């Protein structure tokens, strides 16, 4: 018995449509099973927060490079304010919707940058208002709270930040006791921020816990130890390889009016990492909070001890005792040598970044790529600690720090960063409860 081709075709077609229908339904079910409206909303909000933060932090770095006053303690306080303020906004509650928080965050950063960079050229300063308007116009729908409420909230957030950073001042620095140290000779009557640490109080660091060791504290003779350190630096400087010069200049970041600060360098590294990673909103906010607090505390500890010990720079020591014609690759800034600021800030950043991204996070740093003023071509690293250590000892290659300065800076920085990771929320929340209810009182 023959079956007509028409019947076979109809039967085949019927099976085909059934199969296609089943496959489509399975795919739709799978799609909807993976689709989570809440999770998707969180990701969209995180992208919006990241976009706002990166635009402002990148502009801050750009303006910082134009600012002749952007020395490490100053930039530390700036990033602490930005980090703590954003943390408070992120924890606002009661009728403050997400879009309102984005608008407040945008206005917070604009307010701070206007405050920080009021002395730079007008064409650079105008970039602050332009960015504020650009971000404001991109945020839709508009805020559900009134403009008056936004202004009031922003004012209360910034006042809480000031309260955190202006606790009762530290005790006055100790009388200079170390007469056997080669005392730093200031290059002018206006040394850089000698009383900064006295006028401020660290957010989380107890000076007694993080007491800086005296220079060469484990050596029997200070004079012999510093001479050997200086002689080693001098001998190395006579035969610097091209890569040594590359490393020294790659991490310089202390040329006011040309580069961002040593602290800004680590903000730039963080920005580049964050731009390539998917982070939740809390992770983003908390990362920059920790960095700001860590920088601030590191600056307090570092500057307090620089002016406590007042150890002279290698160039002055070497010219007096080894070779009166010797010069470092770049001039050292006008403040004492011990401990190294580059080292302490890099180590703090390392601890905080490793805590977020892991100890094996490889990274290529192009912060100064294509520079014509110095050798800044990009360098690649296996992990963040490798970066922090190279950053520290680049100062020996530069000729502006002894090895001992850098070792103590690293030790202090790793300890401070570790404490920030563990205690920052407890300390900040105890100082100021970051809730809308508290802010409105």
Q: DSSP per residue over 236-284, as a string?
A: HHTT--HHHHHHHHHT----TTTS--HHHHHHHHHHHHHHTS---HHHH
Q: Percentage of residues in the chain with pLDDT exceeding 70?
A: 81
Same-domain check for residues 318 and 419: yes
Helix (H, G, I), strand (E, B) or coil at 232: helix
What distance in Å separates the CA atoms of residue 343 and residue 362, rounded to the nearest whole number? 20
Q: Which residue did the predictor score with more confidence, 198 or 188?
A: 198
Mean pLDDT (whole number) for 168-176: 52
Q: How far apart are CA 255 and CA 147, in angstroms?
A: 41
Whether residue 38 has pLDDT greater than 60: no
Structural domain for 196, as ranges: 36-439
Whether residue 42 is found in the same domain as residue 17:
no
| Confidence category of residue 175, pLDDT binned at 50, 70, 90 | very low
**Cβ-contact 59, 128 below 8 angstroms:** yes
pLDDT of residue 436: 39
The reported pLDDT for the residue numbered 139 is: 85
Estimate to the nearest angstrom the gap between the alpha carbon of 244 and the chain centroid: 25
Residue 142 CA to chain centroid, in angstroms?
Answer: 31
Residues 16 and 138 in one domain: no
Q: State whether residue 353 is helix, strand or coil.
A: helix
Say whether pLDDT at 174 is over 70. no
Task: Check residues 70 and 204 and name the one with the higher pLDDT.
Answer: 70
Give residues with Cβ within 8 angstroms of 390, minimum separation 6.
247, 251, 381
The per-residue pLDDT for 132 is: 96
User: Does residue 82 surpass a pLDDT of 60?
Assistant: yes
Q: Which two tokens stand for residue 237?
A: 């400087």
Give the model's pLDDT for residue 439: 45
Residues 355 and 286 in one domain: yes
Of residues 171 and 253, more confidence is placed in 253
Task: Taking the CA atoms of 131, 116, 205 and 313 in sequence, report the sign of the dihedral they define.
Answer: positive
Using alpha carbons, select from 56, 57, 26, 48 the residue that is nearest to residue 267: 57
Asked if residue 404 lies in contact with residue 338, where contact means CB atoms within 8 angstroms, the answer is yes
Please give the pLDDT value at position 205: 73
Q: Among 121-130, 172-181, 227-236, 409-418, where is mean pLDDT lowest?
A: 172-181
pLDDT tens profile 387-438: 999 999 999 999 999 999 999 999 999 999 999 999 888 878 776 654 434 4
**pLDDT tens, 149-160?**
888 999 999 998
Per the document, the length of the chain is: 441
Residue 372 exposure: Cα atoms within 13 Å on the Cβ side: 0
**Could you tell me if 14 and 125 lie in one domain?**
no
Query: For the chain, how many structural domains are there in total?
Result: 2
6 vs 441 pLDDT, higher one = 6
Please indicate, yes or no, whether residues 143 and 123 belong to a single structural domain of this protein. Answer: yes
Question: Looking up tokens 């202090």, which residue turns up?
Answer: 412
- Tokens at residue 336, please? 């004492």
- Looking at the fold, whether 414 and 433 belong to one and the same domain comes out as yes
Q: Which of 380, 301, 311, 310 is nearest to 347 (CA)?
A: 301
Per-residue pLDDT tens over the stretch 201-245: 777 776 667 788 999 988 888 889 999 999 999 999 999 999 999
Distance from the Cα of residue 264 to its chain's centroid: 6
Query: Is residue 27 located within the same domain as residue 48?
Result: no
Statement to judge: residues 78 and 7 lie in one domain? no
Q: Which of 79, 73, 53, 85 is nearest to 432 (CA)?
A: 85
Q: Which of 16-25, 119-128, 254-263 has the highest mean pLDDT?
A: 119-128
Same domain assignment for residues 131 and 227: yes
User: Which phi and psi angles does 193 have, rounded to 5°?
Assistant: 50, 50
Q: Specify the pLDDT at position 413.
A: 97
Q: pTM value?
A: 0.87
Report d(CA 395, CA 425) in Å as an integer: 33
Q: Tokens standing for 353?
A: 């970044």
Question: What is the pLDDT averaged over residues 127-150?
Answer: 86
Provide the CATH number for the domain around residue 67: 1.10.606.20
Residues 87-101: tens digit of each pLDDT: 999 988 767 888 999
Say if residue 341 is in the same domain as residue 380: yes
The answer to whether residues 8 and 148 belong to one domain is no
Q: How far apart are CA 125 and CA 139, in angstroms?
A: 23
Which pLDDT band holds residue 116 (cuts at 50, 70, 90)? very high
């Amino acid at each position: 018995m023959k079956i007509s081709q028409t019947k076979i075709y109809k039967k085949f077609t019927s099976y085909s449509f059934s199969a296609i229908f089943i496959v489509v339904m399975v795919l739709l079910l799978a799609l909807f099973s993976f689709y989570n409206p809440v999770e998707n909303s969180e990701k969209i909000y995180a992208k919006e927060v990241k976009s706002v933060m990166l635009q402002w932090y990148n502009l801050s770095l750009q303006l910082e490079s134009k600012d002749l006053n952007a020395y490490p303690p100053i930039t530390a306080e700036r990033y602490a304010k930005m980090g703590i303020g954003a943390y408070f906004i992120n924890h606002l509650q009661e009728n403050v919707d997400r879009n309102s928080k984005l608008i407040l965050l945008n206005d917070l950063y604009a307010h701070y940058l206007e405050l920080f960079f009021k002395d730079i050229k007008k064409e650079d300063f105008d970039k602050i208002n332009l960015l504020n308007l650009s971000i404001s116009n991109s945020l839709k729908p508009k805020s559900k709270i009134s403009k008056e409420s936004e202004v009031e909230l922003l004012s209360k957030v910034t006042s809480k930040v000031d309260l955190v950073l202006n606790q009762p001042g530290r005790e006055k620095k100790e009388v200079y006791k170390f007469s056997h140290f080669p005392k730093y000779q200031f290059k002018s009557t206006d040394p850089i921020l000698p009383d900064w640490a006295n006028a401020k109080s660290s957010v989380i660091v107890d000076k007694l816990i993080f007491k800086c060791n005296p220079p060469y504290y484990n050596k029997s003779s200070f004079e012999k130890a510093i001479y050997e350190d200086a002689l080693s630096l001098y001998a190395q400087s006579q035969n610097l390889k091209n890569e040594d010069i590359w490393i020294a200049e790659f991490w310089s970041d202390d040329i006011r009016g040309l580069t961002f600060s040593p602290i800004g360098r680590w903000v730039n590294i963080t920005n580049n990492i964050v731009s390539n990673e998917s982070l939740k909103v809390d992770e983003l906010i908390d990362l920059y909070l920790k960095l700001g607090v860590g920088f601030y505390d590191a600056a307090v500890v570092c500057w307090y001890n620089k002016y406590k010990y007042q150890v002279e720079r290698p160039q002055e020591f070497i010219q007096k005792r080894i070779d009166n014609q010797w010069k470092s690759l770049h001039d050292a800034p006008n403040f004492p040598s011990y401990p190294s600021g580059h080292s302490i800030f890099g180590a703090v950043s390392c601890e905080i970044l490793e805590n977020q991204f892991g100890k094996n996070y490889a990274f290529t740093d192009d912060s100064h790529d294509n520079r014509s003023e110095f050798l800044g071509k990009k360098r690649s690293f296996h992990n963040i600690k490798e970066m922090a250590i190279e950053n520290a000892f680049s100062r020996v290659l530069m000729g502006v720090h002894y090895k001992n300065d850098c070792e103590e800076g690293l030790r202090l920085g790793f300890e401070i960063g570790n404490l920030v990771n563990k205690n920052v929320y407890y300390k900040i929340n105890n100082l100021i409860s970051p809730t809308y209810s508290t802010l409105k009182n």
